[in-house]
Structure 1
Amino acid sequence: MKKLLSVCCALLLGGAAQAKPIEVASPDGRLRLTVEVTDRIDYTLRDGDDAVLGGEGLALRLADRTLGERPRLRRVSRSSADELLQRINPTKNAGVRNRYNAVRLDFAGGYALEFRLFDEGAAYRFVTSLPGGIDVMEERVRFTLPEGSEAWLSEVGGFNSMYEEPYTLRQLSAFGPDGRMTYLPVLTAEPSGRKVLLAESDLRDYPCMFLRGDGRGGFTATFPRVPKEYGPKNDRSLEILSEETYIARTEGARTFPWRVAAVAREDADLVRQELVWLLAEPAAERDWSWVQPGLVSWDWWNGMRLTGVDFRAGRNTESYRRYIDFAAEYGIPYIIMDEGWSASTTDVFRPNPNLDLEELVAYGGQRGVRIILWLTWLAVERDMERLFGQLEEWGIAGVKIDFMDRSDQWMVSYYERVTRCAAEHRLLVDWHGSYTPKGLFRTYPNLVNYEGVLGMEQGARCQPENSNLLPFIRNAVGPMDFTPGAMLSAQPEENRSTNSNPMGSGTRAYQLALYVLFEAPLQMLADSPMAYERERPSAEFIASVPTTWDELRVLHAVCGKQLVVARRKGVKWYVGGFTNNEPFETEIALDFLPAGRKFRMTSFEDGVNADLQAMDYRRRVRIVDASTRIPVKMVRNGGWAAVIE
C-alpha cells in the first residue's frame, strides 16, 4: 500500500481568542472528533451520532504558566496518512495499516495540540516549542463518558505498584475522587454496548498517567512526582524519602505522550487494533536482525524441584544443564536463569560458586540454546554499561529486569536508558515488576516483553475470571509476560498451588490455548522439564507455537467471557479459544484456509470430565479443508487449541 501524507489546509486565525468548533473524521467517516476552543480546550469524540468520550480542560501547567488556559488559536493544519508498515516482532499481523486523519492546533505561547483519528479510535498529544527546559507541574484533563458507563479498573492506593492488580468492574458514578485510583489501560463499557479502551503511547521522559474517578461518571488524570531524595530500602530497590513539586523536568521543545482511546463497536475490535504500536516512535534504521523472539524455559515458577536426577537440584551447573537439554530437545531457543544464579542480588558480575556460567553458555551454544539472566533494576543501574558489556562478552542473550515498581519520570527514562544500552550490546530485555506497555517496544524491538499483569506466577490468585479479560485490556496495548504452561491444572476452587507442585487454574486445554491467545514475542514455559516430559503431546504442541505471527483472525469474542482466534505463521494456522466459568459451545468455519487443499488438524479439547478434573483432555487428528466447520465445546474454565498444517 502506498503511503499518502499531505497537509490539506492551514488556517491562520490572527490571534483569535475563540474559534468555531474544529472537526476531523476518521478515514471511514464513522468516528468524528470536535474540538472547541473557548477559555479552555475541550473535545468530543462521536461514533455516528453518539458521543462516546469527551476530554475537558486539556492543559499543561508549567511552573510559570498554564498551556491551555485562555488559549489563543493561531493556526489549524490538517494531514492524513495511509500506509502499510512492516512490523518487527509482529504479534497480530506482519503488516499494520497506519491510516488516519489528523488536525493540529497551534496556539500563541509556543504550544500545540495534535489529534489523530483512526478508524479504530482517536488520540491526542501536546507539542511544545519553548526555549530551554521546563517544569511540568501537572497535566490536566477530565475524561467524560455517557451516563451509566462502567469500567474495568486496576485499582491501587498509590503510585508505587507492581502492576499486578486484578480487574474490578465499577460503575463510574460510584468511583469518586477520594478513593483509589487506577493505572492504564482502562476499559470502559457504555450503555450502548460500545467499549472504549483508554491507554497511552510514546511515553518517554515523562511519568505514567493514572486516573481517579471524579464522582460524576468520569475520570481526571493524575501523575507521580519526580523523586527528590532516596534512602536505602532493600537489596533490590530504594525508598523515596521526598519528592519534587513537579511531575517532569524536561526539554521545552518536545512532543508529549499520546492519550489514546480505542473505540470498539464489537469486542473483537479490541483484540484486532494496534493503536499503541502505531502511535509510538518507530525503531531507528539499524540492523535488528539479531533480535530473535521465541519460547523460553523458565526455572522460577517450578522452583527447580527436579526429579529423576542423580544430583542435588538448585541454582547449579547440573540443574541448568538439565534445562538446556530439555530446551534443546523441544527446539526451545532460550532458558532463563532467575534469582539465585549470581553471587548475590547485588554482586552480578560473578555467578554463585555452584554455577559455571562459562561452561553453561558453551554447552547451550552447542545445543542451540541461549541464556537470559535475571537482574534487579538497582543492580543494573549501579554499573549498567560495564555490566552489559560483560554479559555480551559472556555470550548472554538477554536480561530479565525486575522490581522497578514505579512509573515516575526518572523510572520511565530508566526503562529507555536500559533498553537502549542493551540494544548496543545486542541483549534482549524482558521487564518484570514493570508498568504496562506504552509503545517503547516499537522504538526498541529488543524489548520483547513486559510483565505488568496478574499472571500465573501468582498461583491460585490467577484465575480465568481475570485472565479472560487480558486479551481485551492488558494485551491490547502490548506484549504480556503471563508465564503460561502449567501441566498441573485445576478448576479455580481446587487450585492448591505450592512451591513444589505449582498449579494453573483452568483446564489443560485452557492452558494450551493461552499460547495462541496471549501475545508475547518472548513466551515462557513456566513448568519443569519433567512435567513437560510426562505430558509429551501437550509439550510438543506448546513448543510448536510461534511467538510472532503473520496474520490474525478473531473468530468469536465476548469480553471477559470467551475468545476464539486463528493465527497464521507461514503456511501453518493455529486456533485457540477459552471460556470463563460457564461452559461454551460454538462452531468455527475454516474458510481462512486456502481453497482446494486438504490439511491435517491436531486439536486439544476439554475431556468430558474436565469440569470435574481439569487435567482431562483429548487429542484429535482429522483432515479438514476450507469448507470444514468444526464444533467447539468447552467446559467451565475450559479451552480449545489446534494446529492446522
Structure 2
Amino acid sequence: MKFIYLSLYLFISSVFTINAQEILSPNKKIKVIIASKKATDDSCYGQVHFKILYKNKLEYIEVMPNSPMGILREDQQFTDNLKLVNESKTKQISQKYEMICGKQKMCNNFGTEKVFKYVNSNNQPLNIAFRVYNDGVAFRYEFTNKTNSLINIVDESTTYVFPPATNRWLQSYTESYEDFFPFSDTGKTANSNNMEWGFPALFKVNNNPVWVLISEANISENNCATKLNNSKNSDEYKVNYASPRDDFKQNGIKTILPWNSQWHTLIIGELSDIVESTLITDVSEPNKLKETNWIKPGAVSWIYWANNHGSKDYEKVITYIDLAVDMKWPYFLIDWEWDAMSNGGNIIDAVNYAKSKRIKPIMWYNSGTSWLEPTPVDHLLTAEKRAKEFAWLNKIGVYGIKVDFFAGDQQDMMKYYIDILKDAAKYHIMVNFHGATVPRGWARTYPNLMTTEAVYGAEWYNNKPILTSKAAEHNTTLPFTRNVIGSMDYTPVTFSNSQHPHITSFAHELALSVVFESGFQHFADKPEAYNSLPPDPKEFLKNVPVNWDKTKLIDGYPGEKIIIARKKGNRWYLGGLNGKDELKTLKINFEFLDKGIFELKIIKDGKDDKSFDTEVMQVQKGDSLDVKCLSKGGFVAILEKLDTVKANKQN
C-alpha cells in the first residue's frame, strides 16, 4: 500500500512539475533545483519552487524540500501564475574584495549564477536570480520593466520548508533583535501565540550533519527588512515584510521600477562552514567610499554598563578616558546625556581631555525615531541636521557616533540607516548602530559601519536577572547565529557586577574578547575591575585585536561549547567557552596551524571562577590539547611561531 501511495505521489509530481532546472556550487556540494508546479494539467502557468540538496560524502541529502517562491504587488501578483519564458546561461562569479572589519580580511565572492525569466498571467515580467556558493545559496526577485509612478510591493510567498524534527535555534522576532536563541525540534515556543522569528535563523536538518543559517543581505533604500512566520505549519517558514507602525502606515515597499529585492541567503554546510562564511558580505554591494584609510577598528572603554547611566558626570567620564590610556585602547565612548554633563566640565572639556591623552572620542545619539527620553534627540533626522552635527563633530575632534533606539524594520528605517552611513562617511565619521536591526551586509558597502548591537548582550545585566543564569549557554550560541552575519556589539568582558550578577568565570569573560567579533569592541566594566586583573589577562586585553585576517572554528555546538581561532598578522588568538553548568574538557586540535613549532600561551580557569591559570608550551600542527574548564568557564590563548617569538625578544 505504501508503494502505491508513493508511486501515485511521484506520478502526480511529474505531471504537474515543469521546467525543472538545476544549479551547482563550484565545488558541486550544493545543488539547487528550480521547477514550476502547474495549477492544473492543461495550464502553462504555475508556482515556482526551489529545492536544496547537499552532498554528504558520496550522496546528496535533501536539505530543503520543495519550497514555494513568489512576490505580490498591490496591482498584481507573481505567485501561482508564473510561466518561464527564458533563462540566462550559467555564469561564474569571482570577485575578490577586502574587509576592514569582520572575521576575514580577504574575501572572495565566488559562486555560480543563473537568472530565470518569468511572466505572470498578465504578461508582466519577473526575474528570479539564483547564486549557488560553496557555502550556501542566495536568491532575489527582480522587476525589470520601468515605471514612472510608485509601485507598492506588499508581500512574498517565499517559504523555507524543512523536514519534520529538524533542530532549530530561533529568536522570537523583536524590533531590537534582543532575545535568546532557544533550542527547539518542533518550531514552536512555550508561547504558542508567538510564531514570528527574526534573522538569523539556525537549523540542523533532521538527523543529517547539515546546517542551514537563513538571513538576508544587501538591503537598499528600496527594501524593507523581513522576518519569518511559521504559524500555518511549524516546519514551513514564510517570509513576511516588516509590519507597519503607528507613525509609518506603509505596508511593504513603495518604489519605482526597475527594482531588486534584497538577497535571501542560506548558509549551508558543516558548523565550520556556518561560522566562517562571508556570504552576507559576498552578495552585498562593493565598497562605495573612495577613501577608507581613516577607518580604524579598535577597542573602546564604555561608561554606561557599570554606572547604569550615561555621561552626565564629568569626573566619572575622565576616569574612563584614563582607563583607555592605561589599557592602550584607542577609543572612549561618551554615552547618553552628554549634553547635560556637569561636575567639573562639559562635553567640550571631556573631548579636549581625551585628545590631550591621545584618546579618540565617540559620542552617543538618539536616532529620534523610537524611545525619545534619553538625550540628545533629533540631531540626525534630516540631511541638514546631520551635516550640521557632523561638521561640529569634526571641529571638536570626535571620530565616531553610536546611534540608538531605531523604530523598526520598515523601508523608511532602512533608508535612515543608509543615509546616516553615507553622510557620516563624508565627514570621516565611523558608526555604531545600537537598538537596531541585524547586519545586512552594509559593512562591505559602507565600511565606516564598525558594529551593530541587535543582540541580547551584557547590557541586559542592567535590566533583568535572566541573563545571569543563561549567559553561558547564550554566549556559546551567538557564534553560530547572530555573530555569523556581522560585527556584534555585545559589550563583553565584565568581571564585576552591574545591577544583576554574572556567574560566568573570569576566564570565560576574557574569552569573549576573541569569541565575539566587533569592529568597535566596547569593554564594559569599571576601571578598577580591569586595573585589578593579574598581569597576564590584563596584558592580553591591552593587545587583543578587534578585526581579523582569518577565522577558524576549531570545535563547538550551539549552547554547549565553542573554540574559535582568529588570526591577526603572525599570531593566532584562540577563545574557548564552556556553556554548561558542569566541568567540561575542551579539546584544541592544532590541525589548522602551518608547519613549524609554535609557542602557545594559554590563560584559563584557575582554582575558582575568579582566578586565572597561565601556561606556556610548544605545539605544532597535528597536536591536540585538553583544556579543563570550570562550569561556565573558558580560556584564551595566543599562538606564534617560535622563531618569530625569539626574534621579537631579541629586538
Q: TM-score range by the shorter chain?
A: 0.7 to 0.9
CA distance in 1 between counterparts of 2:347 and 2:591 reads 50
Q: Paired residue for 2:242? A: 224
Q: Relative to 1, partners in 2 of residues 1:208 and 1:593: Cα closer, same or farther, differing over 3 Å?
A: same
What's the CA shift for 1:564? 0.9
Q: How far apart are the structure 1 equivalents of 2:466 and 2:517?
A: 21
Q: Is the 8 A contact 2:433 2:453 kept in 1?
A: yes
Letter in 1 for 2:479: P
Q: 2:633 aligns with which of 632, 638, 642?
A: 638
Letter in 2 for 1:281: E
Q: 1:369 to 1:55 in 2, by over 3 A?
A: farther
Aligned to 1:415: 417
Partner Cα distance (2:92, 2:26) in 1: 9
Secondary structure at 1:301's aligned position in 2?
Answer: helix
Aligned counterpart in structure 1 of residue 126 of structure 2, from 111, 117, 128: 111
Q: Is 2:583 the counterpart of 1:583?
A: yes
- Residues 33 and 512 of structure 1: is their aligned pair in 2 closer, same or farther, counting only changes over 3 Å? same
In 2, the alpha carbon distance for the partners of 1:81 and 1:473 equals: 28
Task: Measure the CA separation in 2 of the matches of 1:286 and 1:478.
Answer: 22
What is the DSSP-based 3-state SS (H/G/I as helix, E as strand, rest coil) of the residue aligned with 1:210?
Answer: strand
- Per-residue CA distance 1:379-435 (angstroms, 9 max, x = gap): 221522211221122211111111114111111111111111111111111111111
In the other structure, the counterpart of 2:185 is: 171
The equivalences for 1:462-501 within 5 A come to: 462=467, 463-488=471-496, 497-499=497-499
If the length of structure 2 is used for normalisation, what is the TM-score? 0.85
Match of 2:197 among 167, 182, 190: 182
1:406 aligns with 2:408: yes
Which structure 2 segments of 5+ residues have no match? 1-15, 38-45, 369-377, 641-651
| SS of corresponding position for 2:547 | coil
Runs of 4+ residues deviating >6 angstroms: none
Q: Is the 8 Å Cα contact of residues 315 and 343 (structure 2) preserved in structure 1?
A: no
**CA 1:322 to 1:200, structure 2 compared with 1: closer, same or farther past 3 Å?**
same
Q: 2:363 aligns with which of 368, 373, 394?
A: 373
Is 1:336 the equivalent of 2:333?
Answer: yes
**Residue among 497, 501, 504 paired with 2:502:** 504
* 1:147 to 1:566, Cα distance in 2 relative to 1, 3 A: same
Letter in 2 for 1:203: I
- Match of residue 494 from structure 1: none
Alignment correspondent of 2:603: 604
| Structure 1 counterpart of 2:346, one-letter code | D
2:136 is aligned to 121
Match of 2:281, SS? Answer: helix
RMSD of aligned C-alpha atoms?
2.4
C-alpha displacement of 1:125: 0.3
Q: Summarize the alignment of residues 133-282 of structure 1 with structure 2, pairs less than 5 Å apart.
A: 133-156=150-173, 161-172=175-186, 174=188, 179-191=194-206, 192-205=208-221, 206-213=223-230, 214-227=232-245, 240-241=246-247, 243-244=249-250, 246-264=251-269, 266-282=270-286
- 628-637 or 77-86: which moved more? 77-86
Cα distance in structure 2, aligned partners of 1:36 and 1:367: 64
> How many residues get paired?
583
Counterpart among 49, 52, 67 of residue 45 in structure 1:
52
Supply the distance in 1 between the matched residues of 2:343 and 2:381 (Cα, whole angstroms).
24
Matches within 5 A, 1:45-124: 45-48=52-55, 49-54=60-65, 56-81=67-92, 83=94, 85-108=96-119, 109-124=124-139
Cα 1:320–1:596 change in 2 (3 A) is same
Render the CA deviation track for 1:468-511: whole Å, top value 9, x for unaligned.
100000001111011111123xxxxxxxx444xx6434111111
Aligned partners of 1:74 and 1:583: how far apart in 2?
A: 61
Letter in 1 for 2:440: K
Query: Identity rate of aligned residues, in percent?
Result: 24
Q: Are 2:513 and 1:515 aligned?
A: yes
Q: 362-371 or 544-553: which moved more? A: 362-371
Q: 1:627 to 1:167 in 2, by over 3 A?
A: closer
CA offset digits 1:341-389 (Å, max 9, x no partner)? 113xxxxxxx668533333333322322111111100122152221122
Q: Which blocks of at least 5 consecutive residues in structure 1 are unaligned?
A: 1-16, 228-239, 306-312, 344-350, 489-496
Contact 2:429/2:448 (8 A) holds in 1:
yes
Secondary structure of 1:481's match?
Answer: coil
Q: 1:591 to 1:517 in 2, by over 3 A?
A: same
> In the TM superposition, what is the alpha-carbon distance from 1:562 to its structure 2 partner?
1.2
- In the TM superposition, 1:285-434 aligns within 5 A as 286-303=290-307, 315-343=312-340, 355-378=345-368, 379=378, 380-381=380-381, 383-434=385-436
Q: Counterpart of 1:470 in structure 2: which amino acid?
A: L
CA distance in 2, matches of 1:204, 1:549: 27
Alignment-derived partner of residue 308 in structure 1:
none
Q: Letter of the 1:115 partner, please give it.
A: F
Shift of 1:173: 5.7
Cα distance in 1 for residues equivalent to 2:439 and 2:400: 19
435 and 94 in structure 1: CA distance in 2 versus 1, 3 angstrom threshold? same
Contact 1:267 1:559 in 2 (8 A): no
Write the distance in 2 (CA, Å) between the matches of 1:524 and 1:397. 15
The answer (yes or no) to whether the contact 1:155–1:168 under 8 Å persists in 2 is no
Residue aligning to 1:620: 615
Offset at residue 87 of structure 1 (A): 2.2
The answer to whether the Cα contact below 8 Å between 1:509 and 1:640 also exists between their aligned partners in 2 is: yes
Which stretch of the first structure deviates more once superposed, 277-286 or 67-76?
67-76
One-letter amino acid matched to 1:319? K
CA–CA distance in structure 2, aligned partners of residues 584 and 200 of structure 1: 35
Query: 2: distance between equivalents of 1:196 and 1:86?
Result: 25
Mapped partners of 1:193, 1:597: distance in 2: 34
Kindly indicate whether the alpha-carbon contact (under 8 Å) linking 2:311 and 2:338 is maintained by their aligned counterparts in 1: no
Give yes or no for contact 1:177–1:215 (8 Å, CA) kept in 2.
no
Deviations 1:199-229 (A, max 9, x none): 00111222211111132521112122455xx
Q: TM-score scaled by structure 1?
A: 0.85
- Judged with a 3 Å threshold, the aligned counterparts in structure 2 of structure 1 residues 180 and 398 are, in CA distance, closer, same or farther, namely same
Per-residue CA distance 1:540-567 (angstroms, 9 max, x = gap): 2112110111122222122221111222
The answer on 1:529 being equivalent to 2:527 is yes
CA distance in 1 between counterparts of 2:228 and 2:543 reads 40
Tell me, in whole angstroms, the C-alpha distance in 2 between the residues paired with 1:534 and 1:177: 47
* Partner SS for 1:40: strand
Query: In structure 1, what is the equivalent of residue 11 of structure 2?
Result: none
**In structure 2, the residue corresponding to 1:143 is in which secondary structure?**
strand
- Rounded to whole Å, the distance in 2 between the matches of 1:58 and 1:178 is 26
